[in-house]
Chains A and B, each alone.
Chain A
């Protein structure tokens, strides 16, 4: 593993200027120099510290996947398409009110509400859309506030900047809902916890969201502004293939745009991401393709298992077995993402053994994920 003790200067040289930034927010808000603003990481002033947490925690700077796997699951990183799994199922909220507001089955909203109610956590860090449908990070401390965060914008947002703003002395127990890159960054934070700001030990729950890619705020939002009355939009959705469309639900009904028209706004950084299912979360949640109104749920850690068990016991969630056919389909999709990412990384580095920022993959794994050896 190469020297990853670098600072803001290298973060820009190696990540941001290279269009590898995922806009996760890990580098922002932890110091007075880097902040997020309208889809960009902005340097307010020059920092002279040669070794910065901004560089260290970035999900696109050198990352030892194997070490993170050991830290999270006590075992080496394997070639499983979906990462470490305790249990897979489909689930949906038992609460109609939540289901109505939620993207699919309302599982994330329900789990976060329950965690808050049961005292697992005191505060949730989630993405919330503004009236103009701009996603931003939000600290939710009540069920109602969590419900306000339901639904996805498909746009990248700097969630972790809000985490960085939490002062060191805070003892609030935190639950975070994040995308795979955000979860990866949090794993890096756990490896070498930050000083002088949020106590990483306060994070008690990490719910990962399935993610194929995210859209870049700046261009996409301009496109939306020009084409829609954003405050009237209720929900965005990408229905499962073969639909190949981007649906916008508003007070006046549904509008569908060809997905290919949307694809040009995908963050370039997403094509180098191996992780579709947020493999280092406690629980990962996504849509259940073909099973309308339900979520696919992957339980990965004991904390995740405990919460899920409680949710079932309390009747907050209804669960069913994920049909084999759906599981196979999910695995295929996850594998395809890994293959594409590794191919793109190798193309970028020009070296079959150099995956730019990913370290610690065994040869067996890279063989499986890298086609055409």
Chain B
């Protein structure tokens, strides 16, 4: 039995933050879970999917976050607790539905969204603070500071959701998602046997809310605000809010989420426990004002420690303003004062820096000689720029795009998208991608560029999306292009995987979140049905791909599609597909940096499986990284890269 589904309350298990979130939902007795993958949230749904059958939970990868939220709401309308998971960008996609759902209210059963933010933007195209959105949505928000709390909060969030009949958010961050720690399991709220049922309109014996619509707006808007006030009342006494410190601290830190640990560690490091108190808020929206007001009265200085937007900071300052003149001698520190930043991740060190300034203490983290050695060591660490994997089909696609655009000569360009192929804007994609925004936006932007002929625009426009993105957000934009006769070519980089976020299946893969077989939704057939001419290329056949691109660019008419179909190398590895070729470089033939080559393979093509042997002045194969795809043999101008059929 998996730790996630183990029904042994009180047992301590080691869980990844995202697994603890999944366990929380299971303990809450959900009947349905729907998500769209996106780091740092991606592991939650697979953790539930793993035990979906035994726990009788329908688990699905939805095509996008809006649909995932709608799936969850539907279940709630039928009285089944429902859970949805997404990364920060997902809330934007789901926002239109959520705002309207807040008008209608949810069903009898709770709906919770776990949303994982990415301070530092390590795996994201932006650094959005999703908490701000929950405020303009008017949804309650909880912020766990540990895996244990994440599990417990998810469970409680369902109770909050049901108590006020509103979707409730739990916000985590990357550090919480990806930290493994001990979690004491709780009871699983058995949902088995509960029949899903959409309430009848005139059931006199069991009158229930039976309509979920966004009726006359002002009538529905007022109760929404009342619900938020009710949530505030619940939050005032929540045990997820806690205080550690003296009764009248010299400095009060107000913090939340993963930053709580940074504060605790910083105070310990500075031995400032007798001067600084920490108010940790687990319920950050709506703010438990009475609780906060009480603590504001105990001090003269307040430091806000939170990641990204000064969200709690602004709420508390707003509260302080309403409490004037009682709060008039309070000094506030945080993002506004510049003691901390409203961007990037925070850390214990950054909190220490803020504290030393406020408390006028000095801090020498480590011995100076040691510090110097560390700095020297940093300088000798080789620079490893991000790259596409050895054998990645996107490298082949971008190579063909580059060549086709150069040959075409009309200064065509690529509107990029987010995914592994985001790297198309840099050296791995030969700088071909020239725009990059949200999922599917490349095609949308191409729609605009493709309809500028009347103002003299004559550059060919290519747009990219991945196969998963095609279903997520590209389809409406493609319909738009066909309908409005926009002149562009959509390249669907179909590697049969949602590779960037961890190989989750999608409608094109023939597999469900649970691993069960699914109907394959055929991208090519969809595009044809939309009325777009479609070509299918294997990007590894680079000459043919270049030819097809050139041919399509010459057509200069309407929205056209090329599906670049080649299996992701990492999926090949997972499926243990043996390598096709053994590669080696004929040292005699290799021209190295001489005229006729100029290190094409290592300087420009850039597959990690290729090495430049500086001493020999020749290229070589890195046996450890080469996957034997054979592509480099096609670009070598001297036929020095040799591929031989791999045996066995």
Residues of A within 8 A of B (CB): 30-33, 35, 37-38, 40, 42-45, 47-49, 51-53, 167, 194-197
Specify which chain A residues have a CB less than 8 angstroms from the CB of B598 in the assembled complex: 31, 33, 47-49
By a CB distance below 8 angstroms, the chain A residues around B430 are 45
B174 to chain A, nearest CB (A): 37
- A31 contacts B406, C-beta separation under 8 Å: no
B407, A32: Cβ atoms under 8 Å? no
Q: Are B407 and A53 in contact (CB under 8 A)?
A: no
Indicate with 1 or 0, residue by residue over B412-434, a CB within 8 angstroms of chain A CB atoms: 00000000000000000010000
B593 touches A49 (CB 8 A): yes
Given A45-B402, A45-B604, answer yes or no on A51-B595 (Cβ-Cβ < 8 Å).
Answer: yes
Contacts of B409 in A (CB 8 A): 37, 40, 42
Docked-complex contact A196 and B594, CB < 8 angstroms: yes
B600 located at the interface, meaning its Cβ lies under 8 Å from any Cβ of chain A in the complex? yes
Whether, in the assembled complex, B387 has its beta carbon less than 8 Å from a beta carbon of chain A, the answer is no
Instruction: Please determine whether B594 and A195 come into contact, CB atoms closer than 8 angstroms.
Output: yes
Contact of B407 among A33, A37, A52 (CB under 8 A): A37
Which 10 residue pairs across A and B have the least CB separation, nearest first? A32-B637, A37-B407, A31-B596, A196-B596, A32-B600, A47-B598, A49-B598, A44-B406, A52-B595, A42-B406
B298 at the interface (CB under 8 A from A): no
Please name all residues of chain B whose beta carbon is closer than 8 Å to the beta carbon of A53 when the two chains form the complex. 595-596
Residue of B nearest to A53 (CB): B595
CB distance from A32 to the nearest CB of B (A): 4
Chain B residues whose C-beta falls within 8 Å of the C-beta of A48 in the assembled complex: 598, 603
Q: Which residues of A contact B637 (CB under 8 A)?
A: 31-32
Number of inter-chain CB pairs below 8 Å: 53
Q: A40's closest neighbor in chain B, by CB?
A: B409
- Among residues of B, the one whose C-beta sits closest to the C-beta of A196 is B596
Query: With contacts A30-B596, A45-B402, A53-B595 known, is A35 near B407, CB below 8 A?
Result: yes
Residues of A within 8 A of B600 (CB): 32, 45
Interface residues of B (CB under 8 A from A): 402-403, 406-407, 409, 430, 591, 593-598, 600, 603-604, 635, 637-639
Is the pair B407, A195 in contact by a Cβ cutoff of 8 Å?
no
Interface of B is mostly: loop
A52 to B597, alpha carbons, bound, how many Å?
11
A38: shortest Cβ distance to chain B, in Å? Answer: 8
- Residues in B with CB closer than 8 Å to A47 are 598
Chain B nearest CB: distance from A226 CB in Å? Answer: 16
B591: chain A residues at CB < 8 Å are: 196
For this complex, 27 residue pairs linking A to B, each with C-beta atoms less than 8 Å apart, are A30-B596, A31-B597, A31-B598, A31-B637, A32-B597, A32-B600, A32-B635, A32-B637, A33-B598, A35-B407, A37-B407, A38-B407, A43-B406, A44-B402, A44-B403, A44-B406, A45-B406, A47-B598, A49-B593, A49-B594, A49-B595, A49-B598, A195-B594, A195-B595, A195-B596, A196-B597, A196-B638
- Which residues of chain A come closer than 8 Å to B403, judged between CB atoms? 44
Q: How far is the CB of B427 from chain A (nearest CB, A)?
A: 12
B292 to chain A, nearest CB (A): 59
Q: Chain B residues near A35: list those with CB within 8 A.
A: 407
Besides the known contacts A31-B595, A40-B409, A196-B596, 8 further A-B residue pairs in the complex with CB atoms under 8 A apart: A32-B597, A33-B598, A37-B409, A38-B407, A43-B406, A44-B402, A196-B638, A197-B596
Which A residues lie within 8 Å of B593 (CB)? 49
Give chain B residues whose Cβ lies under 8 Å from the Cβ of A45: 402, 406, 430, 600, 604
Closest to A37 in B: B407
Q: How far is the CA of A53 from the CA of B595 in the complex (A)?
A: 7
Of all chain A residues, which has the CB nearest B599?
A: A48
Q: How far is B593's CA from A167's CA once the two chains are assembled, in angstroms?
A: 18
- In the complex, A31 Cα to B595 Cα: how many Å? 7
Question: In the assembly, what is the distance between CA of A196 and CA of B595, in Å?
Answer: 9
CA distance A44 to B598 in the complex (A): 13
Chain B residue numbers with a CB within 8 Å of A194 are 596
Closest chain B residue, CB of each to CB of A36: B407
A48 to B591, CA, bound (A): 14
Query: Taking each of A30, A40, A49, which has the highest tally of chain B beta carbons within 10 Å of its own beta carbon?
Result: A49
* CB closest chain-A residue, reference B603: A48
For the complex formed, measure the closest distance between the CB of B335 and the CB atoms of chain A, giving whole angstroms.
43
Q: How far is the CA of A30 from the CA of B595 in the complex (A)?
A: 9
- Whole-angstrom distance between the alpha carbons of A196 and B597 in the complex? 10
Distance of A290 Cα from B27 Cα, bound (Å):
102
A49 / chain B contacts, CB cutoff of 8 Å: 593-595, 598
Residue of B nearest to A29 (CB): B637
Chain B residue contacts of A32, Cβ below 8 A: 597, 600, 635, 637
Question: In the complex the two chains form, what is the Cα distance from A169 to B407 in whole Å?
Answer: 29
What distance in Å separates the Cβ of B429 from its nearest Cβ neighbour in chain A? Answer: 13
Residues of B within 8 A of A38 (CB): 407
- Cβ-closest chain B residue relative to A55: B595
Residues of A contacting B407 in the complex (Cβ-Cβ under 8 angstroms): 35, 37-38, 42, 44
**In the complex, A47 Cα to B603 Cα: how many Å?**
10
| CA–CA, A196 and B403, complex, Å | 23
Q: Once bound together, how far apart are the Cα atoms of A194 and B593, in whole Å?
A: 15
Q: What's the Cα separation between A33 and B599 when bound, in Å? A: 11
Q: List, in ascending order, chain A residues with CB within 8 A of B638's CB.
A: 196
Q: How far is the CB of B347 from chain A (nearest CB, A)?
A: 40
- Contacting residues, chain B, for A167 (C-beta < 8 A): 639
CA distance in complex: A32, B594 (Å): 12
Residues of A within 8 Å of B594, CB to CB, are 49, 195-196
Complex: A38 Cα to B407 Cα, angstroms: 8
Alpha-carbon separation in the docked complex, A30 to B591 (Å): 12
In angstroms, Cα B637 to Cα A30, docked, is 8
For B407, the closest partner residue in chain A by CB is A37
Q: How far is the CA of A30 from the CA of B635 in the complex (A)?
A: 13
Contacts of A196 in B (CB 8 A): 591, 594-597, 638
A42 to B412: give the CA distance in the assembly, Å. 14
Complex: A40 Cα to B594 Cα, angstroms: 25
Chain B residues with Cβ below 8 Å from A195 are 594-596
- Give complex CA distance A323, B407 in Å: 48
Complex CA–CA separation, A42 to B635 (angstroms):
17
Task: State the CA gap A35–B409 with chains docked (Å).
Answer: 12
Compute how far the CA of A77 lies from the CA of B179 in the bound complex, rounded to whole angstroms: 81
**Whole-angstrom distance from the CB of B452 to the nearest CB of chain A?**
23
**Residues of B contacting A40 in the complex (Cβ-Cβ under 8 angstroms):** 409
Per the bound structure, the CA–CA distance linking A197 and B597 in Å amounts to: 11
Least distance between B612 CB and chain A CB atoms (Å): 14
Q: Shortest Cβ distance from B635 into chain A, in angstroms?
A: 7
Q: Report the separation of the CA atoms of residues A167 and B595 in the bound assembly, to the nearest whole angstrom.
A: 15
Min distance, Cβ B582 to any Cβ of chain A, angstroms:
23
* A365 to B: closest C-beta gap in Å: 33
Q: In whole angstroms, what is the CA distance A44 to B550 when docked?
A: 14
Report the separation of the CA atoms of residues A35 and B635 in the bound assembly, to the nearest whole angstrom. Answer: 14
Nearest CB to that of B403 among chain A residues? A44
User: In the bound complex, how far is the Cα of B638 from the Cα of A285, in angstroms?
Assistant: 36
A47 to chain B, nearest CB (A): 5
**Complex CA–CA separation, A53 to B591 (angstroms):** 14
